[in-house]
Amino acid sequence: MTFRNSLFLLLLAALLGFFAPDSESSNSIGIRMIRIEPGSFTMGEASPRADGWDETPAHKVTISHPFLISETEITVEQFAQFQPDFTGSRTEGSAATGMSWHEANAFCEWLSHKEGKPYRLSTEAEWEYAARAGTSTPFWSGEAPPAADAPNPWGLKGVHSGAAEWCYDWYGPYAEEDQVDPIGVSSGLSKVVRGGGLDRDSSYYARAANRASYAPAFLMMRGTDRVTSQNPVTPSSEPTLQGLIGLWYGRINLTDPKAVDEVTILNLDWRFYQQPGQDRGEMWSARWSGFIQAPTTGPVTFDASSDRAVTLLIDGKTVLAWEGGEAQKAGTIPLIKGKKYPIEIVYAHDHGEKTYLNLQWSWAGQPTTAIASEALSYSPAQRQQAVAQAPRQYLPGHHSIGFRVVQAPLPATPALPEILPSIQRCVAGKDTDLSKGPDPSKARLRRRPLLTIPSVGSSREETIAAGMHPGMLGHNHNPGFEVMPNGDLLAVLFTSAYGPGGEDQPEVAMIATRLRFGADEWDMQEMFLDFADVNDTSSLLWREGDSVYLFWGHTFYNRAYPFQWTASTDSGATWSPVRFPQFRAEIGPRTNQPVSTALRDGRGVFYLPSDAIGGTSVLWATDDNFQKWFDTGGRTFGRHTNIALMKDGRILGMGGKNSNIDGYMPKSISSDGGKTWRVSKTPFPELGSGQRPSLLRLASGRLFFAGDLQHSSGQYPDAFKERGAYVALSDDDGETWRIKQLPGVLPADPNGFHRNLNPTLGYTVARQAPNGLIHMISTKTLPPLHWELNEAWILSADAGLLATPASAIVDVKEHRQLFPSGRVRRVWGAGTLATREYRLHGRDTWFYENGVEEWTVEYDRGRKVGTETYRLPTGQKAWVREHRQDGSHTWRQFWPDGSIKSESNWRAGRADGPARIWDRNGRVSQAVFRNGSGVCE
């Protein structure tokens, strides 16, 4: 709606009087409107649950004018008057759900034009004010939610039940001060959702104070309950896919089907093998089918062990079967070598800690051994049958968010400025020669801490005591990583609580950190991206030219797309609106978890790898630059498979975990764009939980690969005697490898999920900078690490880490960066080390366009010294760091009025010494840290 149109409607409303004299009325399309009188209330919660940090501070909000709000959410019938072909997701009764925020907003504009009255979405403050209806308890009805159809004291229905609701505001932190008619922050990536959870559908997330959010483009894909192809093709019955396919059921008698289940090995322990979000409970069963290729001609004996019940049928004949308890049984059947026989396996679990199935085979001259993974296969037709038998999956975007309408002018209150993290502020332009760097012929290996402690390895209480954001938690993992166009390095990781289920919670968010080009220390990590009450995870950063894409998934939100993405063209300073993939045809079983690499082939097709089901991965692809996407059809033999384009145009997939051939990691090669894969054994040990390898095509043409020397359980092939991790190079597209043990790898975080504490790279991602250096980050250790190495080191006999260089700096010059207006944006000094590395040196000052200094810091060959200050546009200090010669520093943060907010002391990336927090009234709380851990004194 244009400003002129909006002004006309406001004037018309003022002349005619848009409020009816009664407290209730119905409009032209039957929306029943309730009059809400002005008043004040406490917005948020004073003492929320720990994961409700975004509900604070509880603050006084005044609604200064009356408004009308719809009694219920807009119904399907009402929305269809605006959009006649709308059917809705039909998830919440008569309420219209499944539309984007933009469509909800367009409905309001349509209704405004239709009636000549100003309709809009409710602000977040108006929604909570009307929902509370003068109460201060979690629900208007008290501590427990009301009956679904009960009106609150002001007449609104369904505020704590039914559809969640889009609000007008961008999602952002609350103001510290009391407010009048707030409208939220000025911009963002997600819009506020009120009145219900997204990841979790429980009463806690339907409280009056609860805040959720999602991207405004979140839209139900139109059509049937499945994505159907416009040109359906009968799937092949040839067994071209690795593993077996079937369903798992919620009861032990193969009833209550839950989901498609794909297995690639037959040594299964579901304590460690379950898919995200699939806690199968105490009683369940499964049936898998496919084909098994005979290893020999003659009798083959199958040995099975299980905690309760197993049935094995081959070629329609029962080879073994039992029920009733833990046992080990055997059965024999004659087979012909090389022939593929139909196989069916049925398993059931009925209570108890153990839940496992181990199926092996033996024949004359061959002792009992694991069934080779490559002997198992199934056809695309069998997969289609399994999908058809499974419960209907929600169509991507088939969400349960609706909306109410408000009839009133939008408050004139200015929006709060969006608060960006430091990694998006003071981002350098592309005015430095990024090709300068160390001599590539000289071996180089360096290691840096990637994140500080806290937040890594810390409790929420420790993180807050150190002055960090309360949403940052101790488990920081599953990273995305990229070299930015300006030479900076950017890492994005999820942050979650430790312990069972910690990674599964709706509060899981994204943090980020930046290593600025020419600096020698990473910025302290900060909150970066959070769709509130949705599990944000599995980030993939990928650069093409000056564009950097961030893909990520919502693993546990069953209405989500397989992934979504945003893009930056200024090295991560700003990010585009979030987009969702639109698929041309049916998509197969998947997990919403992108992996760490992507590629574009010679035909321009872009491939995005993601976890599928079990020990497999899928390639999503687009041949029209992200406009339409498709499932390539095949599945690799490995979860978290990393991909690279081979020299002849084929796609190589390495690993990643939950699959093996004789204890070794498999590789998968596709010559048809991911439709089919040929699987073979690599020379690398298999990987398991908490492990992900890294694959990268280097500028030299070689392949780079990195991973752990042992499975996370501690197992390893007999050929490997060392423990820890390796890096490797291949000159022949992965046929042969030069493998070298990586020194300096830290033990696995004892608070994490590893079942042993061997040195590990955890989840690793590698990228190559324009100067030839290979940068790699790794997680699952305290702290996570950044590795910097070159090919010469891998090829050399040198096994050591390089100490922090202390060489002299030469050719130091002052540089300037300008705003488009011509005003000075940045003035800084930099020079070159004897190692030919670019380093920031001297004073570095950034300015706002109004001339106020924004960020001032002093560098000594890339390391910060002296006083570092960040200011608001008003000139008020936001924070100060005092860097000392011994490498320690003190960090102070300030309230908007200039009073001190927090003070903490740090040494070598760890909180060390006293830390104090002041509230707005000057009351202080104190903690003491030793080497990153809070201690009692």
pLDDT at 417 > cutoff 90: yes
For the segment 180-205, what is each residue's pLDDT rounded down to a tens digit? 999 999 999 999 999 999 988 889 99
Confidence of residue 223 (pLDDT cuts 50, 70, 90): very low
Confidence at residue 587, expressed as pLDDT on a 0 to 100 scale? 86
Confidence at residue 806, expressed as pLDDT on a 0 to 100 scale? 65
Query: Region 548-571: what's the mean pLDDT?
Result: 95
Q: What is the mean pLDDT of the chain?
A: 91
Query: Region 752-765: what's the mean pLDDT?
Result: 83
pLDDT at 255 > cutoff 50: yes
Confidence at residue 6, expressed as pLDDT on a 0 to 100 scale? 43
pLDDT at 343 > cutoff 80: yes
pLDDT at 160 > cutoff 90: yes
Confidence of residue 222 (pLDDT cuts 50, 70, 90): low
Place of tokens 């969006």: 418
Confidence of residue 592 (pLDDT cuts 50, 70, 90): very high
Looking at this protein, which amino acid is placed at residue 738?
A: R
pLDDT at 760 > cutoff 90: yes
β-bridge mates for residue 93, sequence order = none
pLDDT at 277 > cutoff 80: no
CA atoms lying within 13 Å on the CB side of residue 260: 22
DSSP conformational letter for 391: P
For the segment 104-115, what is each residue's pLDDT rounded down to a tens digit? 999 999 999 999
Distance, in Å, from the CA atom of 880 to the CA atom of 867, rounded to the nearest integer, reads: 7
Distance, in Å, from the CA atom of 598 to the CA atom of 588, rounded to the nearest integer, reads: 19
Distance, in Å, from the CA atom of 881 to the CA atom of 871, rounded to the nearest integer, reads: 12
- The closest alpha carbon to 633, from 616, 612, 646, 619, belongs to 619
pLDDT at 754 > cutoff 70: no
For the segment 21-49, what is each residue's pLDDT rounded down to a tens digit? 457 889 999 999 999 999 999 999 987 78
For the segment 278-315, what is each residue's pLDDT rounded down to a tens digit? 557 778 999 999 999 999 999 999 999 999 999 999 99
Cβ within 8 Å of residue 234, ≥6 positions away: 381
What's the token pair of residue 41?
């209330």
pLDDT at 603 > cutoff 70: yes
For the segment 842-893, what is each residue's pLDDT rounded down to a tens digit? 999 999 999 999 999 999 999 999 999 999 999 999 999 999 999 999 999 9
| pTM value > 0.85 | yes
* 52, 222, 234, 395, 904 from 583: Cα distances, Å: 35, 11, 18, 11, 50
DSSP conformational letter for 127: H
All domains of the chain in start order, with CATH: 3-224+396-407 (3.90.1580.10), 241-389 (3.90.182.10), 474-795 (2.120.10.10), 809-935 (3.90.930.1)
* Angle at alpha carbon of residue 463, lines to 462 and 464, rounded to 5°: 90
What's the token pair of residue 130?
């009307």
Phi and psi at residue 617, in whole multiples of 5°? -135, 160
Strand order of the β-sheet with 694-697 is 694-697, 703-708, 725-730, 738-741
pLDDT at 803 > cutoff 80: no
Beta strand 606-611 with 257-263: parallel, antiparallel or unpaired? unpaired
For the segment 660-712, what is each residue's pLDDT rounded down to a tens digit? 888 999 999 999 999 999 999 999 999 988 999 999 999 999 999 999 999 98
With beta carbons less than 8 A apart as the criterion, state whether 319 and 312 touch. yes
Confidence at residue 576, expressed as pLDDT on a 0 to 100 scale? 98
**Would you say how long the chain is, in residues?**
937
Selected residue with higher pLDDT from 14 and 498: 498
Confidence of residue 8 (pLDDT cuts 50, 70, 90): very low
Confidence at residue 236, expressed as pLDDT on a 0 to 100 scale? 84
- The closest alpha carbon to 293, from 260, 259, 327, 244, belongs to 244
Confidence at residue 228, expressed as pLDDT on a 0 to 100 scale? 38
**Strand ranges in 85-184 using DSSP code E only, listed in sequence order:** 119-120, 164-170, 179-180
With beta carbons less than 8 A apart as the criterion, state whether 552 and 594 touch. yes
With beta carbons less than 8 A apart as the criterion, state whether 312 and 320 touch. yes
Query: Region 740-754: what's the mean pLDDT?
Result: 86
pLDDT at 727 > cutoff 90: yes
With beta carbons less than 8 A apart as the criterion, state whether 126 and 67 touch. yes
pLDDT at 802 > cutoff 90: no
Strand order of the β-sheet with 678-685 is 642-645, 651-654, 664-670, 678-685
Distance, in Å, from the CA atom of 363 to the CA atom of 502, rounded to the nearest integer, reads: 45
Distance, in Å, from the CA atom of 55 to the CA atom of 507, rounded to the nearest integer, reads: 13
Distance, in Å, from the CA atom of 677 to the CA atom of 662, rounded to the nearest integer, reads: 19
Cα of 904 vs its chain's centroid, Å: 30
Q: What is the DSSP string of 569-616?
A: SSTTSS-PPPB---BSS---S--S-B-S--EE-TTS-EEEEEE-SSSE
Q: Count CB atoms within 10 A of the CB of residue 113.
A: 13
For the segment 897-919, what is each residue's pLDDT rounded down to a tens digit? 999 999 999 999 999 999 999 99
With beta carbons less than 8 A apart as the criterion, state whether 140 and 859 touch. no
Cα of 860 vs its chain's centroid, Å: 36
> Dihedral angle at the C-alpha atoms of 744, 750, 752, 758, nearest 10 degrees?
40
Selected residue with higher pLDDT from 4 and 834: 834
Distance, in Å, from the CA atom of 163 to the CA atom of 206, rounded to the nearest integer, reads: 10
Confidence at residue 326, expressed as pLDDT on a 0 to 100 scale? 84
Confidence of residue 14 (pLDDT cuts 50, 70, 90): very low
Distance, in Å, from the CA atom of 783 to the CA atom of 763, rounded to the nearest integer, reads: 13
Q: Is 224 exposed, middle or buried (0-12, 13-18, 19+ CB in 10 A)?
A: exposed
Phi/psi-derived region of residue 132, left when phi > 0, alpha when psi is between -120 and 50, beta in every other case: alpha
For the segment 371-412, what is each residue's pLDDT rounded down to a tens digit? 998 999 999 999 889 988 887 666 788 899 999 999 999 999
Confidence at residue 175, expressed as pLDDT on a 0 to 100 scale? 93
Looking at this protein, which amino acid is placed at residue 712?
A: S
pLDDT at 9 > cutoff 50: no
For the segment 346-374, what is each residue's pLDDT rounded down to a tens digit? 999 988 778 899 999 999 999 999 999 89
End-to-end distance of the chain based on CA atoms, in angstroms? 61
Beta strand 298-306 with 489-496: parallel, antiparallel or unpaired? unpaired
pLDDT at 7 > cutoff 50: no
Looking at this protein, which amino acid is placed at residue 706?
A: A
